[in-house]
C-alpha cells in the first residue's frame, strides 16, 4: 500500500519543504504579505486550470464525438426497428367481425432522421405493444398465416442478424455509449439469445412429435397431427417473440428520446416528410 502511494507522498513532502523554505525566506526578509498574495494567485491559477480549463476541454472533446454518437444511436434504433418489422405484422384482421376492418400493429411515421441532405431512416411507431394483452394472439395468428415452421425460422434468422449487428456495434463503438443504454442492449442481446434457443427447441419438439406419430397406426391422420403440431408451435412462438419485443421496447424508447434531445445539436435532425 505504501509503495502505491509513494509518488503522492514524495510530491506532498516536496510541497511542504518548498512552502517552509518560502515561509522562512519571507519571514527573514519581512515579506510575508507578498508571500500570502502570491499563494492566493497561484491557488486561483491552479484551480482555474484544473477545473475550468479541464471542463472546457472535456466539453470540446464531447462535441467532437457528438456526430459519431448520434449516428451510432440511429443505427442501433434502425436495427431494433428492422427486427420488429420482421417479427410483427403491420396489420391484422379484427377478430369477431366479418368486415375488412384491420388492427394496425405498427406504422412507419412521417418523421425521418436526416444526415445532411440524405434521408437515413424512417422511424417505426409501435401501436400495439407488450402491455397489450392481445399482442401474443396477434403474433400467433400471424405465425399461423405464414406457416409456423417457416415463421419460426424467419424469426430466428432475424433475431440472429440483429444480435450480430448489436454485438458488432458494441464491440467497435461501445465506448461512445452511455452506461444506461449499454446495459439495456446487453439485456436485449441476452433476451435474443434465450429466444433463439427456445425457438430451436420448439421446432425440434414439433418435428419430433410428427416423427413419433408417423410410426403409430390407428391415430389421427397425418394432416391432423401436422395441424396440431403447427398450432402448438405457433402458440409457443408467439410467447417467445412477445418476450423479444418486450426486451426491445426500453432501448428503443431510450434511443428515440436521445435522438430527439440531440435535435439541433448535430447534423442529425428530424424533419417532417
10 Å CB burial of residue 245 (0-12, 13-18, 19+) is buried
Report, as an integer, the average pLDDT of 67-84: 88
pTM over 0.85: no
Average predicted confidence (pLDDT) for the chain: 80
- pLDDT of residue 179 exceeding 80, the answer is yes
Query: What pLDDT is recorded for position 178?
Result: 87
List, in order, residues 6 or more apart from 53 with CB less than 8 Å away.
Answer: none
- pLDDT of residue 214 exceeding 70, the answer is no
Query: What pLDDT is recorded for position 270?
Result: 44
- pLDDT of residue 150 exceeding 90, the answer is yes
Share of the chain above pLDDT 70, in %: 75
Among residues 267, 256, 249, the alpha carbon closest in space to that of 109 is found at: 256
Give the confidence band of 272 by pLDDT, cuts at 50, 70, 90.
very low
pLDDT greater at residue 246 or residue 45: 246
Query: What pLDDT is recorded for position 13?
Result: 77
Domain spans, the chain: 6-62, 65-272
Cross-strand bridge partners of residue 113: 121, 270
Q: Cα angle vertex 45, ends 44, 47, to 5°? A: 65
Indicate the length of the chain as a whole number.
273
DSSP code at position 178: -
pLDDT greater at residue 23 or residue 136: 136
Amino acid at each position: 500500500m505504501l509503495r502505491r502511494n509513494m509518488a503522492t507522498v514524495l510530491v506532498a513532502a516536496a510541497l511542504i519543504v518548498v512552502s517552509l523554505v518560502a515561509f522562512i525566506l519571507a519571514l527573514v526578509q519581512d515579506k510575508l504579505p507578498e508571500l500570502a498574495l502570491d499563494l492566493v494567485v497561484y491557488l486561483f491559477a491552479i484551480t482555474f486550470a484544473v477545473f475550468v480549463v479541464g471542463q472546457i476541454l472535456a466539453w470540446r472533446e464531447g462535441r467532437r464525438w457528438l456526430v459519431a454518437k448520434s449516428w451510432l444511436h440511429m443505427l442501433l434504433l434502425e436495427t431494433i426497428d428492422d427486427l420488429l418489422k420482421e417479427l410483427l405484422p403491420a396489420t391484422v384482421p379484427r377478430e369477431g367481425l366479418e368486415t375488412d376492418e384491420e388492427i394496425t400493429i405498427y406504422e412507419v411515421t412521417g418523421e425521418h432522421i436526416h444526415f445532411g441532405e440524405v434521408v437515413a431512416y424512417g422511424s417505426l411507431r409501435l401501436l400495439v405493444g407488450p402491455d397489450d394483452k392481445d399482442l401474443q394472439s396477434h403474433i400467433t395468428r400471424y405465425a399461423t398465416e405464414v406457416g409456423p415452421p417457416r415463421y419460426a425460422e424467419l424469426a430466428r434468422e432475424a433475431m440472429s442478424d440483429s444480435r450480430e449487428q448489436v454485438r458488432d456495434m458494441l464491440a467497435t463503438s461501445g465506448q461512445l455509449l452511455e452506461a444506461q443504454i449499454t446495459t439495456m442492449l446487453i439485456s436485449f442481446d441476452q433476451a435474443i439469445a434465450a429466444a433463439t434457443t427456445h425457438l430451436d427447441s420448439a421446432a425440434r419438439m414439433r418435428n419430433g412429435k410428427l416423427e413419433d406419430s408417423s410410426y403409430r397406426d390407428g391415430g389421427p391422420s397425418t394432416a391432423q397431427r401436422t395441424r396440431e403440431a403447427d398450432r402448438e408451435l405457433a402458440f409457443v412462438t408467439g410467447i417467445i417473440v412477445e418476450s423479444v419485443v418486450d426486451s426491445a421496447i426500453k432501448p428503443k424508447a431510450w434511443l428515440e428520446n436521445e435522438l430527439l434531445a440531440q435535435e439541433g445539436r448535430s447534423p442529425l435532425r428530424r424533419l417532417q416528410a
